[in-house]
C-alpha cells in the first residue's frame, strides 16, 4: 500500500493527537505531559526502544526494519515545545493554558512524526534502523544542545538526521528546501549605556543617557549597511529601549538596549559582533557616556548538507509531485542547527497554506498538511534504507 494512502487512513487519529497537544501547550523544557504522551504512543506502536529524559525532557524511540543488513541509522527529529503567547484563535482546540500557545506549529511537527512512527513500526518495510527524536525547548534554543550533550547521536548510532518545519504562505502539502544555510545564526546583545542622571530641566549638569542611547541605536544601523558585503545577508535589530525611570522630568542614569543579530556566514557573524561593540562604545563616548556590551551567540546557522538535501528533495517530489529546491534562506533561527553540526542531514519546509505567520496569536497549524509531512518522513526512511 502506498505510504500516502496508509497515512491518509491515520489522519483522523493524528489530527486528534495534534489538537490535544495544541490545547495543552508546554514551554521550554517543561514538556512533561507532552513527553509522556509521546512516549506512551511510541510504546503502543511497538517501538523497539523508548527512552525518556534525554536532554531533560526529550524522548527517543527506536524502530528496526525487517532487515538490518544495511547498518544504516537514520534520525528523524520533531520539536515539542510551545511559546509564551496568549492565544487569540478562538478555536475549539485552543490553548487551555493561559499565556502559553503552540504558535509555531510544534504540535503539528510532533503529531506528524508520531504518525510516521506508527506507520513505520507497523510496516517495518526498510533495511536499517530509525531513531525518532522528540526535542524540548527549541524556542529557547537549548533543547537540541541538551539532547546532543546527552549523547543522542552517539548512543543510538545516528548517521544522518532530518527535520521539518511548517511554512505559512507555502501551499499546503508542498515542500521547499535548499542546500547550504537555510536558516540563520541567532545571536542576542545587551548594551547598557551609563551616564549621570539629573533633572530634565537642567540637562547640562547631567550626562544624558537617553540621547547617547538614541544615537547608539541610529549608529548601529550602519553596521550592516556600511560594513557587511551587500551580497551577503545580515540583520541587526534593536528591539528594546528601557530606562531606569518612568518620570517625565528625570534624565536616567542608565539605558538598556536589547536586540538580535542574524547571519548566515561565520565571517559575517564575526564582523557584526566586532563592529557592534566598537560602534556602540565609541558612539556613547562621543556623548560623554559609556556603553557596556554583552554579546551572546545562541544558535548556529542551520546548514543543509548537499547530498542529503538532494535526497530529501527527491523524497518531497515523490510525495508532493514537485518541490522548490532553491528557496531563499530565511533569517529566522532553528536549534536543529546543532544536530546538523553533529551529523549530515537536511531541514525542509512543508506548506501551511494561507495561515497567520508563526509566533502570532492567531496562528494555527494546518491539519491538511499532516499527510504530506507524515509521508515525507516515512518515504524518506523507505527510500534511504530500501528493503531487499
Looking at residue 276, its pLDDT comes to 98
Share of the chain above pLDDT 70, in %: 99
In the chain, DSSP assigns E strands to 49-54, 58-64, 73-79, 129-135, 160-168, 175-176, 180-183, 185-194, 198-199, 234-243, 250-251, 254-263, 290-299, 302-304, 345-353
- What is the C-alpha to C-alpha distance for residues 106 and 21, in angstroms, rounded to an integer? 9
pLDDT tens digits, residue range 288-338? 999 999 999 999 999 999 999 999 999 999 999 999 999 999 999 999 999
| Helices and strands: H and E segment counts in the chain | 10, 15
Average pLDDT, the chain: 96
Q: Where are the alpha helices (DSSP H) in 27-105?
A: 32-45
* Percent with pLDDT over 90 in the chain: 95
How many other CB atoms are found less than 10 A from the CB of residue 8?
Answer: 14
- Measured CA distances, 358 to 34, 73, 364 (Å): 20, 32, 8
**pLDDT tens digits, residue range 41-67?**
999 999 999 999 999 999 999 999 998
Q: What is the pLDDT of residue 244?
A: 87
Please state the pTM of the whole predicted model: 0.92
* Position 8 confidence tier, pLDDT thresholds 50, 70, 90: confident
CA nearest neighbour of 291 among 209, 187, 226, 200: 209
- pLDDT at residue number 3: 66
Q: Please provide the DSSP assignment of 336-376 as one string.
A: THHHHHHS-EEEEEEEEES-PPTTSTT----GGGHHHHHHH
Angle between helices 32-45 and 3-23 (to 10 degrees): 150
Rounded Cα distance, 337 and 300, in Å: 6
Distance CA(344)–CA(19), nearest Å, equals 32
Q: Is the pLDDT confidence value at 5 over 80? A: no
Cα(286)–Cα(117) distance, rounded to whole angstroms? 60
Q: Which domains are seen in the chain, by residue range?
A: 3-183+301-384 (3.40.630.10), 185-299 (3.30.70.360)
Task: Report d(CA 102, CA 339) in Å as an integer.
Answer: 23
pLDDT at 388: 80
Would you say residue 161 has pLDDT above 80? yes
**Hey, what's the cell of 312?**
530529501
Which residue from 118, 152, 160, 154 is spatially nearest to 136, judged by alpha carbons?
152
> If you write DSSP's letter for every residue of 169-185 in order, what string do you get?
TSPTT-EE--SEEEE-E
Residue 97 has which C-alpha cell? 493554558
Cα distances from 259 to residues 217, 241, 262, 301, in angstroms, run 10, 9, 10, 18
Rounded mean pLDDT, 255-263:
98
Please say if the pLDDT value at position 268 is more than 90. yes
Residue among 304, 301, 278 nearest 291 (CA): 278
Amino acid at each position: 500500500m502506498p505510504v500516502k494512502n496508509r497515512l491518509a487512513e491515520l489522519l483522523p487519529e493524528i489530527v486528534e493527537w495534534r489538537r490535544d497537544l495544541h490545547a495543552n501547550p508546554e514551554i521550554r523544557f517543561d514538556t512533561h505531559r507532552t513527553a509522556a504522551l509521546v512516549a506512551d504512543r511510541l510504546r503502543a506502536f511497538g517501538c523497539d526502544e523508548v527512552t525518556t529524559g534525554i536532554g531533560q525532557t526529550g524522548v527517543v524511540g527506536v524502530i528496526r526494519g525487517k532487515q538490518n543488513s544495511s547498518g544504516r541509522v537514520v534520525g528523524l527529529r520533531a520539536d515539542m515545545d510551545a511559546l509564551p503567547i496568549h492565544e487569540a484563535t478562538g478555536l475549539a482546540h485552543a490553548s487551555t493554558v493561559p499565556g502559553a500557545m503552540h504558535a509555531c506549529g510544534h504540535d503539528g511537527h510532533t503529531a506528524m512524526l508520531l504518525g510516521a512512527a506508527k506507520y513505520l513500526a507497523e510496516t517495518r518495510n526498510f533495511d536499517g534502523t530509525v531513531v525518532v527524536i522528540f526535542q524540548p525547548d527549541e524556542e529557547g534554543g537549548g533543547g537540541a544542545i541538551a539532547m546532543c550533550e546527552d549523547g543522542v547521536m552517539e548512543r543510538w548510532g545516528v548517521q544522518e538526521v532530518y527535520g521539518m518545519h511548517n511554512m505559512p504562505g507555502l501551499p499546503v502539502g508542498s515542500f521547499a528546501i535548499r542546500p547550504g544555510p537555510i536558516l540563520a545564526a541567532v545571536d542576542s546583545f545587551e548594551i547598557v549605556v551609563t551616564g549621570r542622571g539629573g533633572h530634565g530641566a537642567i540637562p547640562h549638569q547631567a550626562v544624558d543617557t537617553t540621547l547617547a542611547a538614541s544615537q547608539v541605536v541610529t549608529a548601529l544601523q550602519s553596521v550592516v549597511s556600511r560594513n557587511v558585503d551587500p551580497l551577503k545577508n545580515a540583520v541587526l535589530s534593536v528591539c528594546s529601549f528601557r530606562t531606569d525611570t518612568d518620570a517625565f522630568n528625570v534624565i536616567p542614569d542608565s539605558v538598556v538596549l536589547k536586540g538580535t543579530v542574524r547571519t548566515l556566514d561565520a565571517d559575517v557573524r564575526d564582523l557584526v559582533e566586532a563592529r557592534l561593540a566598537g560602534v556602540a562604545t565609541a558612539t556613547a563616548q562621543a556623548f560623554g557616556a559609556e556603553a557596556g556590551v554583552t554579546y551572546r551567540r545562541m544558535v548556529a546557522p542551520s546548514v543543509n548538507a548537499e547530498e542529503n538535501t538532494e535526497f530529501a528533495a527527491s523524497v518531497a517530489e515523490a510525495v508532493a509531485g514537485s518541490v522548490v529546491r532553491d528557496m531563499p534562506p530565511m533569517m529566522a533561527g532553528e536549534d536543529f542547527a546543532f544536530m546538523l553540526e553533529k551529523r549530515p542531514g537536511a531541514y525542509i519546509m512543508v506548506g501551511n497554506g494561507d495561515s497567520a505567520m508563526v509566533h502570532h496569536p492567531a496562528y494555527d497549524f494546518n491539519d491538511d498538511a499532516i499527510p504530506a509531512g507524515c509521508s515525507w518522513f516515512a518515504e524518506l526512511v523507505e527510500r534511504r534504507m530500501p528493503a531487499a
